[in-house]
Amino acid sequence: MTMNQSLKLAEAQKIHEIVIMHDELRQIYEVLKETINITEILLGEGKIISPDSICLTGNAGTGKTTLSKILMKEFPKKVIIDQDLEIQTHPILFTSIQGKSVNGLAKVMLAQLGDHSAKNINEKTGLTERLKRQLKSARTNLIIFDEFHELLTDKNRKEVLGWVKALINATGIPILLMGTPGVESLIETNDEDVRRILKLYIGKLDYAYDQPSNQFYNYVTSLVDVYKKKLGFKSFYGFEKNSDFLRIFLATNGYPSNIAELFKNAAKAAIREGSIEVTINHLATGFNFSKNIDLLIGNHNPFKMKIEDAYQLHRSPITSVSK
């Protein structure tokens, strides 16, 4: 392998980290960005107003974690000087749920904010008060709980939602609860404050019979353009017919993470061959090396079958499996 090929392989890996937002993801992003900016203004004026929080659900691979990365990149941590003191700010506090304890979660959050002395506190009120002070000092304008379904259950929902409500009301900071479909039903309650949590769902990109949806089409073509521009490919598969998009859909089931993984591996296959074009054969190889989730085609490789068989498979999926 030449040095040029190695450099291109490295570039392909970097492209995999580039975020392309489809329309639905962008809309949610704009809502959250607006929420962060409004919270910053209100808290800066010393006003603690119970904000509207959001519960965002979706299967793995639909873009929830990607959305968090985009926001944290736009609102990064930084060190500021306040009254001759250095303060580490956390405009967004992102916490991935591990375990089933509210107290444990609060202690993890405090540790993220640099407060490691709360590990011996076991009283929720004390932990919440401590969080209130640390979040204010850190200029936090959004809290994100990832994998919220790991914490919220039928058994503890009253305790968990009560604590979430108390934290929101005490700090004036909105919370983004992210989890798998079904967690939103556990948030249903008669409590007015909790009912103000906006419930949003982010799904995969669809492909109707013989016609890609606008979101699917735009996402695929945008990603192709990035690969052609960054790596100098003369062509990337073609995408001249709807059937070309059908093969991509069957290979990925419309999940953005699957599409990105497929294209990365196909591009690497082309680079290793020294090709300036990504062909259907490279996509077939890329599919074999992709860790795709929730496919509907069993062990079939959509880039190695007749298009008639692909249409038949789309009309009559085999089963939902992980490849």
Please report the sign of the dihedral spanned by the C-alpha atoms of residue 267, residue 271, residue 275, residue 280: negative
Q: pLDDT tens across 5-39, in order?
A: 788 888 888 777 777 888 889 999 999 999 999 99
Q: 322 lies in a domain? A: no
* CB neighbour list of residue 53: distance below 8 Å, 6 or more residues apart: 164, 168, 174, 175, 176, 177, 196, 197, 198
3-state secondary structure of 54: strand
Q: Which band of pLDDT confidence, cut at 50, 70 and 90, is reported for residue 195?
A: low
Q: 323 lies in a domain? A: no
Q: 106 lies in a domain? A: yes
Q: Are residues 86 and 232 in the same domain?
A: no
Q: What angle do CA 239, 240, 244 make, to 5 degrees?
A: 50
Q: Are residues 63 and 95 in the same domain?
A: yes
Return the closest-CA partner of residue 147 out of 111, 108, 117, 121. Answer: 108
3-state secondary structure of 85: strand
Q: Are residues 166 and 260 in the same domain?
A: no
Choose the final residue of a domain: 183, 201, 219.
201
Most confident of 141-150, 236-245, 288-297: 141-150
Q: What is the pLDDT of residue 131?
A: 95
Say what the pTM is: 0.85
Q: Which band of pLDDT confidence, cut at 50, 70 and 90, is reported for residue 323?
A: very low
Angle between helical axes of 280-288 and 242-252 (0-180°, round to 10)? 10
**Full domain range(s) for residue 88:** 23-201
Total domain count, the chain: 2
Would the pLDDT of 191 be above 70? no
Q: Are residues 54 and 186 in the same domain?
A: yes
* CA dist., res. 188 & res. 168, Å (int): 17
Q: pLDDT tens across 230-278, in order?
A: 888 999 998 878 889 999 999 999 999 999 999 999 999 999 999 999 9
Least confident of 180-189, 190-199, 214-223, 252-261: 190-199
Choose the final residue of a domain: 171, 201, 231.
201
> What's the rounded mean pLDDT across residues 95-107?
88
